[in-house]
């Protein structure tokens, strides 16, 4: 079975960690911008958490569909929304970081999913051979 | 004050409505596809993951925006 969700998830985690490290470098180099970089770091960490949760839920629902189980299962949207809200509350209310930077951080993992998923699907489509139908011989 | 609360309610309500419809469509088609062709499970679940990730980004961000609006109204 061509199971490419774990490999896509690994790429997303790597990308978000890269942006997290950029945020840490920014925090260290420009101390005056600490509220911005701090908010971005917490938002990006929250986005990574809810993307992990989404990948786990998707794999679980797919396994249930493939196995023919008839149990009821939710998508876990409320859990993910609660993770994002928790990140925002910790960042804005508790640590007094920048709210727009936190929102930008929450966009990191979905944006990485979009770009990396698009690249992976393009690669998969390009990898299909038309030789079976004799069109490119 | 009232307008900020109204903005918070509208931004999260409409975002959640769109996400509910979008998620339902994506997962119904994914489950249908997997039960028809279980060997395509890997591809279909990855496509569903990308789609749901995009669909859900908007209401999650709108929830945070609603929280910020609500905070500014206090």
Q: Please report where in the chains the tokens 């990855």 appear, as a residue.
A: B46
For residue A13, the enclosing domain spans: 4-121
| Contacts (Cβ under 8 Å, ≥6 apart) of B3 | none
pLDDT in tens, A26-57: 999 999 999 999 999 999 999 999 999 999 99
Contact A8 B49 (CB under 8 A): yes
pLDDT in tens, A106-117: 999 999 999 998
Contact A77 B45 (CB under 8 A): no
For all residues of chain B together, what is the average pLDDT?
88
In a domain, A137, yes or no: no
Q: Which of B46, B59, B66 has the most A C-beta neighbours within 10 Å, making it the best mutation to test the interface with A?
A: B46
In a domain, A135, yes or no: no
- Retrieve residue A12's tokens: 């997303």
Contact B53 A114 (CB under 8 A): yes
In a domain, A131, yes or no: no
The total number of structural domains that make up chain A? 1
In a domain, A73, yes or no: yes
In a domain, A136, yes or no: no
pLDDT in tens, A76-120: 888 998 999 999 999 998 999 999 999 999 999 999 999 998 888
Q: How many CB pairs under 8 A join A and B?
A: 112
pLDDT number for residue A137: 47
**Contact between residue B73 and residue B6 where contact means Cβ atoms under 8 Å apart:** no
For all residues of chain A together, what is the average pLDDT?
87
Query: ipTM greater than 0.90, yes or no?
Result: no
Contact A102 B44 (CB under 8 A): no
- The CA R_g of chain B, rounded to the nearest whole Å, is 17
In a domain, A24, yes or no: yes
The model carries a pTM of 0.85
User: Can you tell me the mean pLDDT for B48-57?
Assistant: 90
């Amino acid at each position: 079975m061509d199971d490419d969700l774990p490999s896509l998830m690994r790429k997303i985690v790597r990308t978000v960690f890269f942006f997290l490290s950029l945020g840490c470098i920014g925090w260290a180099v420009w101390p005056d911008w600490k509220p911005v970089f701090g908010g971005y770091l917490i938002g990006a960490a929250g986005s990574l958490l809810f993307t992990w949760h989404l990948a786990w839920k998707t794999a679980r629902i797919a396994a249930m569909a493939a196995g023919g189980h008839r149990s009821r299962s939710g998508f876990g949207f409320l859990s993910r929304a609660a993770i994002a809200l928790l990140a925002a509350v910790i960042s804005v209310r508790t640590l007094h970081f920048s709210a727009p930077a936190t929102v930008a951080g929450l966009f990191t993992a979905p944006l990485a999913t979009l770009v990396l998923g698009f690249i992976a699907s393009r690669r998969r489509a390009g990898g299909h051979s038309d030789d079976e139908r004799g069109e490119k011989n | 004050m009232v307008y900020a609360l109204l903005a918070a309610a509208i931004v999260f309500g409409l975002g959640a409505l769109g996400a509910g419809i979008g998620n339902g469509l994506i997962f119904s088609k994914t489950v249908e596809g997997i039960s028809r062709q279980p060997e395509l499970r890997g591809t279909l679940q990855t496509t569903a993951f990308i789609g749901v990730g995009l669909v859900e980004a908007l209401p999650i961000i709108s929830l945070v925006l609603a929280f910020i609006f609500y905070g500014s109204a206090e």
